[in-house]
Amino acid sequence: MLRVGSNARDMSPFIKLASKSELPPDNEAKEFTVGDKVICVANVNGTITAMDNVCLHRGGPLGQGTIEGDKLVCPWHGWQWDPKTGEAAHNAAAKVAVYPLKIEDEDVLVEL
């Protein structure tokens, strides 16, 4: 529902996640808090992706994991995730949410 005096452009579903300078370096992951949600941002060979930070196995913090090849590895028990699709490497039916990202000027925006 639009507020009186607003237009659709004011209602963008994208919100600021971080500044470009805060993004993880190549082949690393990092956690970011947006409201009451923690997002895992992974940089796999220069491709930046955002996904839920909670591993489906035992709730491990994916943003504290490591990048091996093109997978994000949970630091707790080694479950591997595809940061582009959110799928577990061993079972495509096990999936965490993946969020669209965009960069505007120096801001990194996420759509939750």
Instruction: Tell me the domain boundaries of the chain.
Output: 15-100
Q: Are 32 and 23 in contact (CB under 8 A)?
A: no
DSSP class per residue in 52-108: ESB-TTT--BGGGSEEETTEEE-TTT--EE-TTT-EETTEEEEE--EE-EEEETTEE
Q: What is the DSSP letter of 1?
A: -
Q: Flag whether the pTM goes above 0.85.
A: yes
pLDDT tens column, 13-69:
999 999 999 999 999 999 999 989 999 999 999 999 999 999 999 999 999 999 999
Distance CA 19, CA 79 (A): 29
pLDDT of residue 2: 36
Q: How confident is the model at residue 97 (pLDDT cuts 50, 70, 90)?
A: very high
Q: Domain 15-100: which CATH class?
A: mainly beta
Q: How confident is the model at residue 5 (pLDDT cuts 50, 70, 90)?
A: very low
